[in-house]
Structure 1
Amino acid sequence: MAQIHPTALVDPAARLGDGVVVGPCTVIGPDVCIGAGTRVGAHCVIEGRTTIGVDNRIFQFNSIGAVPQDMSYGGEPTELVIGDRNTIREFCTFNTGTLKEEGVTRVGSDNWVMAYVHIAHDVRLGDHCVLANNATLAGHVHVGDWATIGGLSGVHQFVHIGAHAMIGFQGHVAQDVPPFMTVDGNPLAVRAVNLTGLRRRDFSAERITLIRQIHKLMYRSSLPLEQAMEQVAALRGSSPDSDADVQVMLDFVAGARRGLVR
């Protein structure tokens, strides 16, 4: 059974799984579903059509599932879906989606979300991401798995951030950030491959060598982007795991919506 503090206000229609803990003065609305083992701290508000998975840790003073900060929103029944085993620290704001996309804001699993993070409407956050204090994701931002976004960074609407990318401290991210790359500075620029992140995730030496070749072709060869990507495509088959990593980059560049950080 769920453990609900006597001062919490949980709507009878809310669905709470086994072992859910709800702290003092927290408010949970009727359309909320919280999976087993999730712990919600004090003074949180979880509202709207919000689904939260299992074994999450939501610290005190969070606003989860409020309507989007979008002036065109007209009260449509949009959603927020959060996966499993996420840590969400203090004073974060996660909003539901809009009908401009599928109507759902999606947060994956195993993410580490620090204090004062804002996840706006229609964001898609992957798995195993780290968002440092005060990171802000505007509407329709897509973030790949294992990405890291530094503190006080702002990500512009519709930007895509690739898997395993690293955004440095106070990044102003107005263009798409390719997978595997580290970016920082003002104006933002690609500095190098995210070697530390890749090594922590047990990328082999061969895979890292290939990704460094991709970086050199895209950012050190002086080739126009189209020609550089032709050279990247030609790297298929050069190492046992090369095809998957090459395809990740090709697909990302092909789908870029706001141009690439250069």
Structure 2
Amino acid sequence: MIHPLAYIHPDAKIAPNVEIEPFAIVHKDVEIGEGSWIGSHAVINDGARIGKNCKIYPGAVISSTPQDLKFKGEYTLTYVGDNTIIREYATISRGTEEHWKTEIGSDCLIMAYSHVAHDCRIGNNCIIVNNVQMAGHVHMGDWAIIAGSSSVRQFVKIGAHAMVAGGSLVRKDVPPFTKAAREPLSYAGINSVGLRRRGFSNEQINEIQEVYRYIYLRGFNNTEALEHIELELAPSAERDEIVNFIRNSERGIIKAPTSTSADNGDD
């Protein structure tokens, strides 16, 4: 299953049934779970911990040295969860002493030419579309999607089940269950199609929509909106997730669209 023209350091830990194609490079401090496939010319650097049944396509570079001038060679890691697919020429940097690791969840799809920088934390079932450029310390919740050619500023948080339109400049946090589009990036409704596909009921979707009416449509500032939500809307897992996300946002959340916003589409 390991081609003789691949370079595998003798100390690398390769599980059974791993297939490694010619000219792939696997360095010393690497672990690869069973059933994974490493394509030609992929490079798996020190500190990589690859889960089971992953697919790393040709030219991808995993656990590269962080592009951070503060990095001084400290021992850090990159985790890739089970069943995750990393397409051609995507690059993922390992962590720095800020967090000590970069984390990619299970069942994710990271498409070609995307970059995930040091100390990012990507949840499960996330999709990062072609040529997304993600700076350091970005967090993505489970099931979030960032469409192609978007750029994400460092320390930004993207909530669970959120969807960011292609070509976006993501400078602020994107709350869970929402769609974000236009320039500057703005609230474009809730991700109702994605939520239905994942089994959310009409009642849950309506509750989420009502929460965001307080935040974006009723003229409150964020503090006022959260106070009204907690006083007037019944507690639920979705309500509390939204409230906690906004309350803990350090960058601030995306704003409501203005009449002068250029509409980039919100599908």
TM-score (norm 1): 0.95
Secondary structure (helix, strand or coil) at the match of 2:208 reads: helix
**Counterpart position of 1:136:** 133
Separation in 2, partners of 1:174, 1:88: 25
C-alpha displacement of 1:231 = 2.1
**Is residue 55 of structure 2 the alignment partner of residue 57 of structure 1?**
yes
CA deviation profile, 1:105-159 (whole Å, cap 9, x unmatched): 0000001111111000000000001111001111000000000001000000000
Change (3 A) 1:235 1:197: farther
CA RMSD, Structure 1 to Structure 2 (Å): 0.9
The residue correspondences of 1:163-242 to structure 2 (distance < 5 A) are 163-234=160-231, 237=234
Separation in 1, partners of 2:230, 2:31: 44
Secondary structure (helix, strand or coil) at the match of 2:78 reads: strand
**Is residue 27 of structure 2 the alignment partner of residue 34 of structure 1?**
no
Secondary structure (helix, strand or coil) at the match of 2:236 reads: helix
Separation in 1, partners of 2:129, 2:150: 8
**Counterpart position of 1:14:** 12
Secondary structure (helix, strand or coil) at the match of 1:249 reads: helix
Q: What code does the residue aligned with 1:209 have? A: N
From 156, 172, 175, the equivalent of 1:159 is 156
Q: What code does the residue aligned with 2:196 have? A: R
**Counterpart position of 2:46:** 48
Separation in 1, partners of 2:40, 2:231: 55
**Is residue 258 of structure 2 the alignment partner of residue 248 of structure 1?**
no
C-alpha displacement of 1:236 = 5.0
CA deviation profile, 1:177-212 (whole Å, cap 9, x unmatched): 000110011111011111111111110010000000
Identity rate, percent: 39
Secondary structure (helix, strand or coil) at the match of 1:4 reads: coil
> Structure 1: which 5+ residue stretches go unaligned?
none
Change (3 A) 1:235 1:148: farther
**Is residue 249 of structure 2 the alignment partner of residue 261 of structure 1?**
no
Separation in 1, partners of 2:24, 2:243: 45
Secondary structure (helix, strand or coil) at the match of 1:81 reads: strand
**Counterpart position of 1:25:** 23
Separation in 1, partners of 2:244, 2:218: 20
Greater mean alpha carbon deviation, residues 203-212 or residues 222-231:
222-231
CA contact (8 A) 1:4 1:22 kept: yes
Q: What code does the residue aligned with 2:150 have? A: S
> Structure 2: which 5+ residue stretches go unaligned?
256-267
C-alpha displacement of 1:217 = 0.7
C-alpha displacement of 1:80 = 0.5
Secondary structure (helix, strand or coil) at the match of 1:145 reads: coil
Greater mean alpha carbon deviation, residues 23-32 or residues 224-233:
224-233
C-alpha displacement of 1:232 = 2.1
Separation in 2, partners of 1:150, 1:188: 13
**Counterpart position of 1:149:** 146
**Is residue 2 of structure 2 the alignment partner of residue 4 of structure 1?**
yes
CA deviation profile, 1:147-179 (whole Å, cap 9, x unmatched): 000100000000000000000010100000000
